[in-house]
Structure 1
Amino acid sequence: MAKIKVTQVKSKIGATTRQKRTLEALGLKKLNNTVEHDDTPQIMGMVDKVKHLLSVEK
């Protein structure tokens, strides 16, 4: 299965509680933190909700 790298590039200060929880569910805790996930519809849906805070590489 394809992998994606997700990096948090903007602060979660000012984000809604739901967006903060989505970042935590993705495993992102700090700025410039990078995690690797499988390219599944569930993960891509989470990434889409907070795409303004992230950078995604395939």
Structure 2
Amino acid sequence: MATEQKTVKVQLVRSPIGCKESHRATVRGLGLRKLNSVSELQDTPAVRGMINKIDYLVKIV
């Protein structure tokens, strides 16, 4: 019996240039590189917190 992990897709829609260094590090930590790049991550409280921190740079697909 395999339990399926819930995932969330995040897309980078604004450039992190000019943002705080910690916000840029969060973008990289989510696996986002270029504009419009999409990363599929497990839906955990830690990932949710990272998304909330940079919510003005990303959108949930």
TM-score by length of 2: 0.89
Distance apart, 1:14 and its partner CA: 1.2
Count of residues in correspondence between the two structures: 57
Distance apart, 1:40 and its partner CA: 0.2
Summarize deviations over 1:10-48 as a string: whole Å, max 9, x none: 011111000000000000011000000010000000000
How do 1:27-42 and structure 2 match up within 5 A? Answer: 27-42=31-46
Q: Which runs of 5+ in 1 are unaligned?
A: none
Q: Which runs of 5+ in 2 are unaligned?
A: none
1:14 paired residue number: 18
Higher helix fraction (1 or 2):
1
TM-score by length of 1: 0.93
Identity %: 37
